[in-house]
Amino acid sequence: MNQRAAGRLDLDRLLELLEQAGMLDHSAAVDVQMKAGGRLRQLERQRERAGLSDVPVSPAELVASFRLPARGAGTVTEARIQQVIADAAGVPYVDIDPLKIDATLITGAVSQAYARRNAVLPLGHQDGRFLLAVDDPFAGDVVETMRARVQEPIEVVVALRADILRVLEEVFRFRASLKGAIAELGETGTDFGNLEQLVRLGANANLDGDDSHVVRAVDFLLRYALDQSASDLHIEPKRQHSVVRLRIDGLLHPVHQLPKVVHAAVTSRIKTLARMDIAEKRRPQDGRIKIAHREVEVELRISSMPTAFGEKLVIRFFDPGVLLQEVDALGFFADELESFRRVIRRPNGLVLVTGPTGSGKTTTLYSALRAIAGPTINVATIEDPIEMVVEDFNQTATNARLGLDFSTLLRTLLRQDPDVVMVGEIRDRETAQAAVQAALTGHLVLSTVHTNDAPGAVSRMVDLGAEPFLLSTTLLGVLAQRLLRRVCLSCREETTLSPELAAGLGLDPGEARSFVVWRGQGCPVCRGTGLKGRVGVFEWMVLDERLRKMVQEGADAVEIGRAAQRAGMRSLRESALKKLALGLTSAEEVIRVTAEGG
């Protein structure tokens, strides 16, 4: 690293670097120098109002605040400035991934006051060196101080000061909440859920979770999960501690560890919010919470389950921005979209959506209902449980204790003058027969079944007791779907298929050589995976006269599938390959998701 002997980077040196890099012309640099004093005082007052008076304004923040036009295109942003600083110092510039932060490492290596004042963030170890993020790589005194603290060789990288400060605030605030909770609860507590731990008589069992430290810790976890666009948050008790994991784009990421004594207090706090019985730890429970996040109300569904080491909680997030989408944003191809819209606007009939758990069936159904709903349409749903409360729908939840199952509620619902009925799942003979009857008597019925592909849904309905003749009359279409992870737009590049991948996709070597695909190389935006976000892939089977006749005659799923493909239906694998060719996903993802369905 080529550090300047003069030490920390000042405004004059930064403007010089920006001119040398061709980002600013000389007249703009002079203008900044003339106005710097007044602008600095404004930024310092903003710091004071935000409670950050101990954090000095960096030269990069000062220059970025002028929003100057950069030579070439765009403006002189702080990120572009930091990239120039990193290049001048001969060190890498990085975007900090909050999912890869080691909170224990940070709090053990540096104090909050020092880290905030000097904008330093320990990131971990790499190739035998201690990785340290700073916003000023020329601050040799900071690097030497950190080297003395950690007693290891240090590798410096440059990051945005705002990113460093945000992570420091989250880590130290969360750690403070945990320490406060431990102080309130005692270092040890009675853990009634742990099958391996003996009960310590007389131990502090104050596990009501009402203290402010636990409240802040829970608020942090929920907010953090939403900020990371997680679909689920897992709080999992282990022998010595508890693990917090987030499911993002279908994969779980460990993000935090909780001291074992805090686990029961955290779960009690969440169960209290969800109006669950905090005294009942031996039986599974379900609850729900609605919270406001960035001016949007988000539904949270809570599930508790006793495990060997204590009570595990899973929180599922139902963000309306994700669950309630426009139908044309789900990932249909143009011909599929037109056909699907035409079918769901039919006045009566049965539409089935099929796929495994987590394949996006609920999003598709809610989006379809949203497209149909209006002042002149009565949309009613029967769910187990209600996934997300939508004011435009009349929603009812099943209740096994009261004998209110899908079939019972569906028969009652038909006396409520519905136009469109959504049944959460058809899983037994009574519900299958009731759904077919409802479709036969002038209602549009949407529901889900669990099968691997669209033709299999026909056989499944017949197995459940639907009469083939009535099913052939009422069934309008079946949609099988999966979710493919998208190639990251920030790091994708063109590549060709290897022989192994081509074979896995069912392509011959000749096809593979001309099949250009995209692949993410891995970057901070996608957390090194090369994939970010998800898109639906569909097998949309619309029943024409030939298929209806086959259903009526009792044809099996294989025969129906072949006939549907001859009539124009794309299989899941074919749809996924088309998305691969469009650069939306990777070959590995196509193989992973469509291996069973081909």
Residue scoring higher pLDDT (509 or 156): 156
pLDDT band at 418; cut points 50, 70, 90:
very high
Across residues 19-39, what is the average pLDDT? 87
Res 51: pLDDT: 74
Residues in the chain: 598
pTM confidence score: 0.69
| Number of C-beta neighbours around residue 114 at 10 A | 13
Residue 202 pLDDT exceeds 50: no
pLDDT, tens digit (0-9, with 9 covering 90-100), for 47-97: 888 777 778 888 888 888 888 887 766 788 888 888 899 999 999 988 887
pLDDT, tens digit (0-9, with 9 covering 90-100), for 226-275: 888 889 999 999 988 899 999 988 888 888 888 888 888 899 989 988 88
Residues with Cβ < 8 Å from 357, sequence gap 6 or more? none
Res 210: pLDDT: 43
pLDDT band at 517; cut points 50, 70, 90:
confident
3-state secondary structure 515-561: CEEEEECCCCCCCCCCEEEEEEEEEEEECCHHHHHHHHCCCCHHHHH
pLDDT, tens digit (0-9, with 9 covering 90-100), for 303-360: 999 999 999 999 998 877 777 788 999 999 999 999 999 999 999 999 999 999 888 8
pLDDT, tens digit (0-9, with 9 covering 90-100), for 462-487: 999 999 999 999 999 999 999 999 99
pLDDT band at 176; cut points 50, 70, 90:
low
In angstroms, the CA 218 to CA 240 distance is 20
pLDDT band at 211; cut points 50, 70, 90:
low
| Domain architecture of the chain: domains with CATH | 11-163 (3.30.300.160), 186-318 (3.30.450.90), 323-483+536-570 (3.40.50.300)
